[in-house]
Amino acid sequence: MMGEELVVIRLTFYVALVTSIAVLPLSLIIAWVLARKKFRGKALVEALITLPLVAPPVVTGYMLLLLFGRNGWVGRPLFQMFGIRMTFNFFSLICASLVVSLPLAVRSIRASFEMIDPMYETVAQTLGKTPIETFFRVSLPMALPGVLSAMVLTFARSLGEFGATITLAGNIPNKTQTISLLVYSYMQVPGMEKQAALMVLISLAVSFLAIAASEMLNKRHLR
């Protein structure tokens, strides 16, 4: 294995790890609200959250480019006022992985919250616990296996992300090139089939282990 491939593997794992951590607070809030609250427009919020899961990844990346590009709704003022560029860099890798992974995390954590009898939370609040204390001392511990499963799924999804990443972050060697993008690059060059196969095997092995870990956590949660 060449040094370039090791750099790509390290970057891919780092992006997946950072995404798994970054997605946690946002997915916890969204999942709890969807599981416990009723409000007008809830179906629309659910659809928007799920959209990156069913939309073509390139379309998701294009929408992110419209938002964070140099002339985008968010990217333009940030670049003009602070000189911050939010595309074709490490931030764009995290952003793409976060957006496409969020629906998986929310669905997994929401299912865990919905399996908890709301009576436990009601009893905790009647005993003087605030809603925040109830969440961290009752709801979250009971849903913890599902939360861990969501993080594992997020990690696995980030490892295989391609469409949104190549649109928002590009395929820049030693900068934004992940395993999926390296495999794509190898496939464009005759004679690089072995290198591409090696990267595919590494990606499949890690993804398989992540899915197995997620299933184990889900089974533990159901017991």
Q: Evaluate the CA torsion angle 123, 138, 157, 65 in order and state its sign.
A: positive
Q: Please report, as a single letter, which amino acid is at residue 132.
A: I
Query: What is the pLDDT, as a whole number, of residue 212?
Result: 82
Query: What is the pLDDT, as a whole number, of residue 174?
Result: 87
Query: What is the pLDDT, as a whole number, of residue 168?
Result: 93
Query: What is the pLDDT, as a whole number, of residue 214?
Result: 73
| List of the chain residues with pLDDT < 50 | none
Residues 161 and 20 sit within 8 Å (Cβ to Cβ):
no
Question: 31 is written with which tokens?
Answer: 């999942």
Structural domains in the chain, CATH included, are 3-222 (1.10.3720.10)
Q: Please report, as a single letter, which amino acid is at residue 63.
A: M
The tens digit of pLDDT for each residue in 10-41 reads: 999 999 999 999 999 999 999 999 999 888 99
- Taking the C-alpha atoms of residue 87 and residue 119, their distance in angstroms, rounded to an integer, is 46
Residues 52 and 107 sit within 8 Å (Cβ to Cβ):
no
Q: What is the CA radius of gyration of the chain?
A: 20
Query: What is the pLDDT, as a whole number, of residue 61?
Result: 93
pTM equals 0.88
